[in-house]
Amino acid sequence: MRALVTGCAGFIGSHLTDTLLEAGHSVVGVDCFNDNYGRAQKEGNLARARDWNSFELLTFDLSQGNLAAVVSNCDTVYHLAAEPGVRSSWGNRFQRYAQNNLIATQCLLEALRSSPQTRMVYASSSSVYGQVESLPTREDVTPRPLSPYGVTKLGAEHLCHLYFENHGLHTVSLRYFTAFGPRQRPDMAFNIFCRAALMGAPITVYGDGSQTRDFTYVDDITAATLAAGTLSTVELGQTYNVGGGLRTSVREVLDTIAELADRTLDIRNVAWEHGDVRDTGADTTRARRDLAFEPRVRLEEGLRAELDWINALPSAREMELAL
């Protein structure tokens, strides 16, 4: 298989790229290396992929380029490129979210109209749900995003579905629930918590720490994403939850990190931020049925892997400066 992976230098995109290459597929990776965080980490994420002759990296903005030639020779498209982050999606930055999440997706879908049998897997987010009344949450619950970021992710889902309905494109959308693990972005909670634990720095927690999330290890997300692009049992035009299967509070996560790091944490609670939801939890019945999805990595094991990865980064001083 020849696969196109957008956002290939990112957290999940780089893991997916490595998995595809190790499985014997060739990969065309696209990334614009924007300034959300340092390019050095993104380049590091691609270190293994660059060792493969079957990997080709293209650097450009999906919302600006003519994508027909890029997708024409690909069997599957994994669209993971996006402008991430709930809290930063308010105000003037929303234009970046509209461009990188909506316009970029529409440009990719337009390019695929000339090869509608190419399957496209779109990486969406549990942020589309907002504050839900039922947990675990099924895909047929009416989405009510609580942040501009969630709005753009849901909008891109709708674009995928309308191109499926109107033009016969083979689209599939996956709603990821709170991914964690090695290569996680430096602005994400677990990365911040682990760095602070290793450095003995204060940890800011929004709210009282009783809020829960369905934390999902990156390898489990990668497995579900690969399955969505390859299995014949996948229902085209469908949306699937991808979650770790066990809701855990932020307070419990911090207790686990403290135990793994063998350190008492300096936790400082502040007020809730706009866009934050109280709880998330994925009903993965549909993904288990069609994607053979079975989350395998439990929270403590995954946290240990992320903590070890951060601890092995080049310089503790760099971690300190980033906090």
In a domain, 148, yes or no: yes
In a domain, 204, yes or no: no
Instruction: Give tens-digit pLDDT for 224-271.
Output: 999 999 999 999 999 999 999 999 999 999 999 999 999 999 999 999
pLDDT for residue 70: 94
Within the chain, residue ranges assigned H as helices are 11-22, 39-45, 68-71, 94-97, 104-112, 148-167, 189-199, 218-230, 250-261, 285-290, 299-311, 316-322
Structure tokens of 59? 């650097």
Structure tokens of 280? 């998330």
CATH code of the domain containing 57:
3.40.50.720
User: What domain range includes position 125?
Assistant: 2-177+218-243+280-296
- Which residue's entry shows tokens 């650097």? 59
Instruction: Give tens-digit pLDDT for 59-97.
Output: 999 999 789 999 999 999 999 999 999 999 999 999 999
CB 147 within 8 A of CB 89: yes
Instruction: Give tens-digit pLDDT for 173-227.
Output: 999 999 999 999 999 999 999 999 999 999 999 999 999 999 999 999 999 999 9
194 — phi, psi (to 5°)? -65, -45
Distance between CA atoms of residues 84 and 96, nearest Å = 10
Structure tokens of 25? 């597929």
| CA atoms 294, 299, 300, 306: torsion sign | positive
- Residues known to be catalytic: 149
Q: How many CB atoms lie within 10 A of CB 301?
A: 11
Length of the chain, in residues? 323
Residue 237 to residues 66, 149, 153, 195, Cα–Cα distance (Å)? 24, 22, 16, 40
Distance between CA atoms of residues 193 and 303, nearest Å = 10
In a domain, 107, yes or no: yes
In a domain, 234, yes or no: yes
- Quickly state the pLDDT bin for 318 (edges 50, 70, 90): low
Q: Structural domain tally of the chain? A: 1
In a domain, 305, yes or no: no
In a domain, 260, yes or no: no
- If phi > 0 it is left, if psi is from -120 to 50 it is alpha, else beta; for residue 156 that is alpha
**Cβ-count burial 246-282 (b if 16+ within 10 Å, e if not):** ebeebbebbebbbebbeeebebeeeeeeebebebbbb
In a domain, 310, yes or no: no
Q: What is Dmax (Cα atoms) for the chain?
A: 57
Letter for the amino acid at 108? L
In a domain, 144, yes or no: yes
